[in-house]
């Protein structure tokens, strides 16, 4: 499909190479199978993780320890192409790099970094991120998971987490818990006694993704398990900001895939003697979908350049997450209507993307929370309570 705004023309040669390489990977390895994964509610994480590691996208925006150390726009372009395949694929990469590897990289000890980051970058070890709880989603300050040091110096971790991507297949979990000194992060190997991660089933969204609960029943951790360089909610919230940046770019890929499917379908589906793409109502839908994709891409690119300049703020990320996810969901719904009855089948990618985007709208900060972030930015008045 023609890029009318020539957005990708502004990318550097290395960024275009990343775009083409990831796009080819998705076309060869993901698109032929993802409809079946979605229908069967499976995600072959152990198969794909080494391939994604070889591709260089796991922790690609981090430096050292086998990570590529690429710029933010390059990471964004990769997320866009991954989510054009499926939101579950991009979620896997985002959780691995931005929610599991990033806190170890930024706040971990030298030993924690050496133990986990090279293996995670290669896809030899899978990570997850434990913040959301069954009764605490948008307000993590109320988390009930807690850790207490005993006289030996060990930490005893108790509690639970919910809606955890990669949880059941993870080798390591970065878990946030209340302590006497405030919220702390812990690096928890999945084989630690007392740790369990049952998978959540019967999902109608993100079916090609592993989603789990985490339970901690007197999980004993050495003093070295705590992330030493951060205390308080600053730690997990900074990780979420990293992950949200990937979402800002990723949903552009999902929206683009829906638009491309609708354009192709409208050119071949004949009613009343001509393709439905020749009717004014269809063209109006396609035109506004195209505008939505273009505006979202410009937003993502601008935020990527701010991030590379070191000036990106969490409020700006909230703007991008709010605007781009809503635009992508609207585009998916319009595409579904153009495809008519065929739009609800997995022969086309549209209903899969549409269902996935319902989850993306909620995770990493609900639409309502990001709306209130912008409301506070405009008025100076917090309205969270």
Cβ count within 10 A of residue 146: 16
Residue 81 has, within 13 A of its CA and on its CB side, a CA count of: 24
Q: Provide the 8-state DSSP code for 226.
A: B
pLDDT, the chain, mean: 96
Tokens 């993901």 label which residue? 30
Residues constituting the chain: 385
pLDDT tens by residue, 157-177: 999 999 999 999 999 999 999
Catalytic, 364? Answer yes
CA distances from 99 to 87, 210, 261, 270 (A): 16, 15, 32, 47
Backbone angles phi, psi at 67, to 5 degrees: -90, 150
CA distances from 67 to 59, 77, 133, 138, 375 (A): 6, 17, 30, 31, 37
Tokens 């709208």 label which residue? 361
CA distances from 17 to 11, 12, 22, 168, 296 (A): 10, 9, 9, 33, 21
CA pair distance 346, 36, nearest whole angstrom: 8
Burial of 281 (0-12, 13-18, 19+ CB in 10 A): exposed
Per the CB < 8 A criterion, the answer to whether 164 and 132 are in contact is: yes
Per the CB < 8 A criterion, the answer to whether 315 and 374 are in contact is: yes
Per the CB < 8 A criterion, the answer to whether 339 and 348 are in contact is: yes
Q: pLDDT-derived band of residue 138, with 50, 70 and 90 as boundaries?
A: confident
Average pLDDT over residues 263-268: 97
pLDDT tens by residue, 69-106: 999 999 999 999 999 999 999 999 999 999 999 999 99
Helices assigned H by DSSP within 8-107: 13-25, 31-40, 45-55, 72-85, 87-94, 102-107
At a CB cut-off of 8 Å and minimum separation 6, what does 136 contact? 142, 143, 144
CA pair distance 270, 88, nearest whole angstrom: 33
CA distances from 171 to 45, 128, 174, 189, 276 (A): 12, 8, 10, 6, 50
Tell me the torsion sign for CA atoms 301, 302, 305, 306. negative
Average pLDDT over residues 289-308: 98
The pLDDT, as a whole number, for residue 179 is 96
Enter the pTM of the model. 0.96
Backbone angles phi, psi at 44, to 5 degrees: -80, 70
Residue 191 has, within 13 A of its CA and on its CB side, a CA count of: 3
Q: pLDDT-derived band of residue 324, with 50, 70 and 90 as boundaries?
A: very high
Helices assigned H by DSSP within 202-268: 234-268
The pLDDT, as a whole number, for residue 333 is 98
- Nearest residue to 166 (alpha-carbon basis) of 242, 99, 254: 99
Q: Provide the 8-state DSSP code for 121.
A: H
3-state DSSP call for residue 215?
Answer: strand
Check pLDDT > 80 for residue 385. Answer: no
- Nearest residue to 186 (alpha-carbon basis) of 238, 153, 224, 139: 224
Residue 276 has, within 13 A of its CA and on its CB side, a CA count of: 18
The one catalytic residue in 133, 199, 364, 376 is: 364
pLDDT tens by residue, 106-118: 999 999 999 999 9
């Amino acid at each position: 499909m023609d890029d009318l705004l020539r957005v990708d023309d502004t990318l550097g040669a290395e960024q275009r190479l990343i775009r083409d390489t990831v796009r080819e990977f998705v076309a060869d390895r993901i698109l032929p199978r993802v409809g079946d994964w979605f229908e069967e509610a499976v995600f072959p994480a152990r198969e794909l993780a080494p391939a994604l590691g070889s591709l260089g996208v796991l922790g690609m925006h981090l430096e050292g320890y086998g990570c590529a150390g690429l710029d933010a726009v390059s990471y964004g372009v990769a997320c866009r192409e991954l989510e054009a395949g499926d939101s579950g694929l991009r979620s896997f990469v985002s959780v691995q790099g931005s929610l599991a590897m990033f806190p170890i990289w930024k706040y971990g000890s030298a030993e924690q970094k050496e133990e986990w980051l090279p293996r995670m970058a290669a896809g030899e070890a899978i990570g997850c991120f434990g913040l959301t709880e069954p009764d605490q989603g948008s307000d993590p300050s109320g988390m009930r998971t807690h850790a207490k040091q005993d006289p030996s110096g060990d930490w005893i971790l108790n509690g639970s987490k919910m809606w955890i991507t990669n949880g059941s297949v993870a080798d390591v979990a970065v878990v946030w818990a209340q302590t006497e000194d405030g919220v702390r992060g812990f690096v928890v190997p999945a084989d630690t006694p007392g740790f369990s991660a049952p998978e959540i089933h019967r999902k109608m969204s993100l079916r090609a993704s592993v989603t789990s609960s985490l339970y901690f029943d007197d999980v004993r951790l050495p003093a070295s398990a705590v992330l030493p360089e951060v205390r308080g909610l600053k730690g997990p919230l900074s990780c979420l900001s990293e992950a949200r940046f990937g979402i800002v770019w990723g949903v552009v890929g999902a929206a683009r895939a829906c638009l491309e499917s609708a354009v192709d379908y409208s050119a071949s589906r004949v009613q009343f003697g001509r393709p439905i793409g020749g009717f004014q109502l269809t063209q109006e839908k396609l035109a506004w979908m195209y505008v939505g994709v273009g505006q979202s891409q410009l937003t993502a690119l601008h935020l990527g350049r701010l991030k590379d300049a070191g000036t990106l703020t969490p409020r700006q990320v909230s703007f991008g997450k709010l605007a781009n996810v809503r635009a992508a969901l609207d585009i998916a719904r319009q595409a579904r209507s153009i495809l008519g009855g065929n739009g609800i089948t997995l022969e086309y990618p549209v209903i899969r993307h549409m269902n996935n985007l319902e989850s993306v709208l909620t995770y990493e900060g609900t639409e309502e929370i990001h709306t209130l972030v912008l409301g506070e930015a405009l008025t100076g008045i917090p309205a969270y309570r």
